[in-house]
């Protein structure tokens, strides 16, 4: 791991403006994003899986992931953080070993998620990762409470706060809550939690300005850049010559 990159990446979460991450999936997309003024590079697990011929949802072989990350690293000079879904395993040692190999490849951060699994399982994964690679790695921990409607609406916010507090105590650096859009809930999280907050947006400038004023530390586009880019491939195959907007579920079902 590049110590200077690691420090830069951590400091980007404490800046006066949020860290904007236009998530990439291969060397070409990473090089393009870097050339357009990005401060750091982040992968999208869904986009990377699709680009390599696999469905999103823990299907990507870790050797394929590592090879793709090495190709990205070859063309960039910015800090790189990698989305590893749930670590592609519920075996603690396997998850920690994957992260160790990624750190050896030069990454400075990871995203790791709870999904529908017990939050205690993710807590143990974070503990094991810290024991394997130390404290320098930036761990952005994702909870799917809002994204997958894991609990009733009236307890979603309290559940997120409980989970992120648990993850922070285990060694996570920041919290990612995809699916959260309610500004009142966002403000409550910002007022209550000490860790930086990461939200998923669609790129709307109004959202960027609003969340920036509120104090959100990190904003991500997730798989939207991939869908936008690849939607252009639908135009030339039809007489109407109008591209169709791809959707997550229909795209994922292709693999």
Residue 241 is predicted with a pLDDT of 72
Residue 235 has pLDDT above 90, yes or no: no
What's the mean pLDDT when you consider all of the chain? 96
Q: What pLDDT sits at residue 89?
A: 97
All domains of the chain in start order, with CATH: 3-229 (3.20.20.60)
What is the pTM (predicted TM-score) of this model?
Answer: 0.96
Buried b (16+ CB within 10 A) or exposed e, 121-159: ebbebbebbbebbeeebbbbbbbbbbbeebeeeeebbeb
Q: Which of 164, 210, 159 is nearest to 184 (CA)?
A: 210
- pLDDT band, residue 112 (cuts 50/70/90): very high
> What average pLDDT does this structure show over 221-237?
90
Q: What share of the chain is helix, strand, coil (3-state, %, to 5)?
A: 50, 10, 40
pLDDT tens for 49-80 read: 999 999 999 999 999 999 999 999 999 999 99
Nearest to 176 by CA among 218, 117, 119: 218
Residue 239 has pLDDT above 70, yes or no: no
> Is the pLDDT score of 242 beyond 80?
no
Is residue 218 scored above 90 in pLDDT?
A: yes
Helix, strand, or coil here: 198? Answer: strand
Cα separation, 120 vs 126, in Å, equals 10
Mean pLDDT of 212-234: 95
Q: What is the percentage of the chain residues whose pLDDT exceeds 70?
A: 98
Q: What are the tens digits of pLDDT across the range 158-193?
A: 999 999 999 999 999 999 999 999 999 999 999 999
Question: Which residue in the block uniquely carries the two structure tokens 């509120």?
Answer: 214
pLDDT average, residue stretch 228-240 = 80
Any idea which of 42-46, 87-91, 196-200, 233-237 has the lowest mean pLDDT? 233-237
Q: Which two tokens stand for residue 201?
A: 């947006």
The predicted structure's pLDDT at residue 11: 97
For residue 240, what pLDDT band results from cuts at 50, 70 and 90? low
Q: Decide if pLDDT at 19 tops 70.
A: yes
Residue 236 has pLDDT above 80, yes or no: no
pLDDT higher than threshold 80 for residue 207: yes
Q: What is the pLDDT of residue 193?
A: 96
**Span 145-157, pLDDT tens digits:** 999 999 999 999 9
Query: According to the model, what pLDDT value does residue 238 have?
Result: 63
Query: Percentage of the chain with pLDDT > 90?
Result: 93
């Amino acid at each position: 791991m590049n110590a200077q990159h690691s420090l830069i990446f951590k400091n980007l979460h404490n800046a006066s403006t949020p860290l904007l991450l236009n998530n990439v999936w291969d060397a070409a997309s990473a090089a393009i994003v870097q050339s357009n003024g990005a401060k750091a590079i982040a992968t999208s697990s869904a986009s990377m899986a699709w680009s390599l011929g696999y469905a999103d949802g823990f299907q990507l072989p870790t050797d394929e992931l590592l090879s793709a990350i090495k190709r990205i690293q070859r063309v960039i000079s910015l800090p790189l953080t990698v989305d590893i879904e749930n670590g592609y395993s519920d075996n603690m040692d396997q998850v920690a070993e994957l992260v160790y190999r990624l750190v050896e490849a030069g990454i400075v951060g990871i995203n790791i998620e709870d999904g529908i699994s017990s939050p205690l399982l993710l807590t143990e994964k974070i503990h094991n990762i810290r024991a394997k690679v130390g404290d320098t790695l930036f761990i952005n921990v994702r909870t799917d409470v809002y994204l997958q409607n894991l609990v009733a609406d009236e307890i979603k916010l309290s559940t997120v706060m409980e989970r992120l507090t648990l993850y922070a105590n285990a060694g996570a650096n920041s919290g990612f809550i995809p699916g959260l859009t309610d500004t009142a809930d966002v403000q409550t999280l910002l007022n209550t939690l000490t860790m930086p907050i990461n939200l998923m947006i669609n790129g709307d400038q109004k959202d960027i300005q609003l969340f920036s004023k509120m104090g959100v530390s990190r904003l991500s586009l997730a798989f939207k850049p991939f869908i936008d880019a690849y939607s252009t491939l639908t135009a030339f195959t039809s007489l109407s010559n109008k591209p169709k907007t791809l959707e997550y579920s229909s795209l994922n079902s292709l693999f």
